[in-house]
Amino acid sequence: MPEGNVIHNQARRLRTRFRGKQIAVDSPQGRFASDAERIDGRTLEKVEAHGKHLFMKFGDLWVHVHLGLFGKWRIGKGEAPEPRGQIRMRLRGADGYAELRGPTVCELLDEDSKKAAVARIGPDPIKKSDPTPAWERVERSSAPIGGLLMDQRVFAGVGNIYRAEVLFRHNISPYRPGKRVSRGEFDAIWDDLVLLMAQGTKKGRIDTVRPEHLPEIMGRRARKDRHGGEVYVYRRTGQPCHLCEAEVQMAEMGGRKLYWCPGCQPE
DNA sequence: GCCATATGGAAAG
DNA sequence: TTTCCCTATGGCA
């Protein structure tokens, strides 16, 4: 259940363990079996992350993986254990193994298709991309900024947690149309995403609460949530805002749950 | 055991 | 806008 920070972290781990080595590729579950055969035994030359997409180069073919909501990697040292459950793709090298479960996408692409797939992905804060294309989309869009942040063609790698939290940190209502976001606000959001997502990649969790607010929330923190980090509004529906005592709101936007504080982020 | 839920996105209508 | 896909997990009975 990953946002871009997780994907970049996994790319680094896969790179460390497998790059430059001969890899046995198979599909214990079977759904990737015929593709796996085509690259089985080849050398893994590159591992790239673009937003939430992962690409692995095996000669003239790329494996394209998108974890979606359910996908998971399990990466380990030494001999691979007996397959358990649904393993779509398995990599085994001299140094360890990796199991891929439940991805939305696991496919083979040739060089051109890979390039086209990358081209569809917007600027990625973790790669410190040039945000200009994102600004151009936001500036002339009447869609709500809360939706634009989740649009991977606009902001690559941003997911539901970063979307909610970055808008809170800048006191912007998720319902405000993109065209009503000023250049100054956009720049502040982008710079903040660069910082937050780099941190999230390094730490393996998403913390968005500013240090000066930490003492205030320690006293009344609800039970630890699964995502594990300290946040202002994500999944805190009905609880008091850490800063203004208004109740955190939740609504559906584009089929995903949106969280915000009506006090700190007025429309 | 059963049900709801999950950091996502494409396809169908 | 809704439906569907993919898998695991936590809360509950």
pLDDT tens digits along A103-124: 999 999 999 999 999 999 999 9
The one catalytic residue in A31, A153, A221, A256 is A256
> By the 8 A CB rule, do A229 and A206 touch?
yes
How far does the CA of A215 sit from the C1' of B12, in Å? Answer: 49
Task: Answer yes or no: is pLDDT of A224 > 80.
Answer: no
What pLDDT shows up at residue A122?
A: 96
Under the banding of pLDDT at 50, 70 and 90, the label for residue A77 is: very high
How far does the CA of A19 sit from the C1' of B13, in Å? Answer: 44
What pLDDT shows up at residue A106?
A: 95
Question: A174 an active-site residue?
Answer: no
Question: In chain C, which nucleotides are within 7 Å of a protein Cβ?
Answer: 1-8, 10
The predicted model scores a pTM of: 0.94
Task: Answer yes or no: is pLDDT of A1 > 90.
Answer: no
Integer CA distances (angstroms), A135 to A18, A147, A155, A177, A179, in order? 37, 14, 10, 13, 10
Buried b or exposed e, range A44-70, using 16+ CB within 10 angstroms: beebbbbbbbbbbbbeebbbbbbbeee
Task: Answer yes or no: is pLDDT of A222 > 60.
Answer: no
Question: A224 an active-site residue?
Answer: no
Mean pLDDT of chain A: 93
Q: Name all domains of chain A by residue range, CATH numbers in brackets.
A: 4-119 (3.20.190.10), 125-260 (1.10.8.50)
> From CA A198, how far away is CA A112, in angstroms rounded?
29
Q: Which two tokens stand for residue A226?
A: 């699964």
pLDDT digits (tens, 9 = 90+) for A135-176: 999 999 999 999 999 999 999 999 999 999 999 999 999 999
> By the 8 A CB rule, do A114 and A64 touch?
yes
Question: A240 an active-site residue?
Answer: no
What pLDDT shows up at residue A7?
A: 96
Quick one: what percent of chain A has pLDDT higher than 90?
85
How far does the CA of A255 sit from the C1' of C1, in Å? Answer: 9
Which nucleotide has its C1' atom closest to residue A206's CA? B7
How far does the CA of A25 sit from the C1' of B7, in Å? Answer: 28
Rounded (5°) CA angle A200-A264-A131: 45
- The three-state (H, E, C) secondary structure of A177-237, written as one string: EHHHCCHHHHHHHHHHHHHHHHHHHHHCCCCCCCHHHHHHHHCCCCCCCCCCCCCCCCCCC
Question: A52 an active-site residue?
Answer: yes
Task: Answer yes or no: is pLDDT of A185 > 90.
Answer: yes
> By the 8 A CB rule, do A4 and A49 touch?
yes
Which nucleotide has its C1' atom closest to residue A104's CA? C6
> From CA A125, how far away is CA A131, in angstroms rounded?
8
